[in-house]
Every structure is written in C-alpha cells, then in structure tokens.
Amino acid sequence: MSKVIKILGTGCPKCQSLTGVVKEVVNENNIDATIEKVEDIMDIMKYNVMSTPALVIDDVVTIKGRIPSKDEVLALLN
C-alpha cells in the first residue's frame, strides 16, 4: 500500500532540508509513497505540532522540530 508522507512546515530552510532528506530516502529505496508539503498554518495546527518541521507518515506525527537522518527516516517508513 502506498504511504502518504506529509511534511509540515511554514517554508523555513529546515523544512526544505527535511523534504530533501525524505525525497532522497524514498527515491534511493524505491519506496511507494507520495510526498506532500503542508505549508498552511491552519492545516499544520490540525496535527497539534508546536515545533516545525514535522514529519507525518500515514497521518501519524513521527518527528517534530528537527531534521532526522536518512537511516531514521528509512526505519520509520519500513
């Protein structure tokens, strides 16, 4: 089943580097997933996160306020 990955962040540099990390992991490992950036603050608040960037996988917030390593993202996706 295809995973839905959402990256929550208002467009700060950290959010962009998180997007970069996730894209790399998905591409390198041929993971079947869609990556979506959520930049609207109202939508971000629905996930109850107070520090961005945040990584949401299938509607579960897995990481908030920091940029994880590639290995960490891979582990979360598997």
Partner 1 sequence: MFDWVQHLADWFVYDVLKLGQGEHLSEALNFFIYDTIKILILLFVVIFFMGIVNSYFPIDKVKNYLSRNKLYGSEYLMASLFGTVTPFCSCSSVPLFIGFVSGGIPLGVTFAFLITSPLVNEVAVGLFIGLFGVKMTLIYVFSGVLLGTISGMVLQKLKLESYLTPWVKDILANAQKEQDAFIADKSSLRARLPIIWAEVLKILKGIVPYVIVGIAIGGLMHGYIPKGFFEKYMAKDNLFAVPIATILAVPMYSNASGILPVIQVLVSKGIPIGTAIAFMMGVVGLSLPEAMLLKKVMTLKLIGIFFGVVTLCIIISGYIFNIIL
Sketch the per residue contact string, 40 through 59, with partner 1: x for CB under 8 A, - otherwise.
Answer: -xx-xx--xxxxx-------
Q: Which is nearer to partner 1, 29 or 51 (CB)?
A: 51
Is residue 20 flagged as an active site residue?
A: no
Smallest distance from partner 1 to CB 5, Å? 19
CA distances from 69 to 15, 18, 26, 33, 52 (A): 14, 9, 13, 18, 16
Q: Which is nearer to partner 1, 1 or 13 (CB)?
A: 13
Is residue 15 flagged as an active site residue?
A: yes
Half-sphere exposure of 68 (CA within 13 A, CB side): 20
Task: Report the C-alpha gap between 51 and 8 in whole angstroms.
Answer: 10
Supply the residues annotated as catalytic. Answer: 12, 15
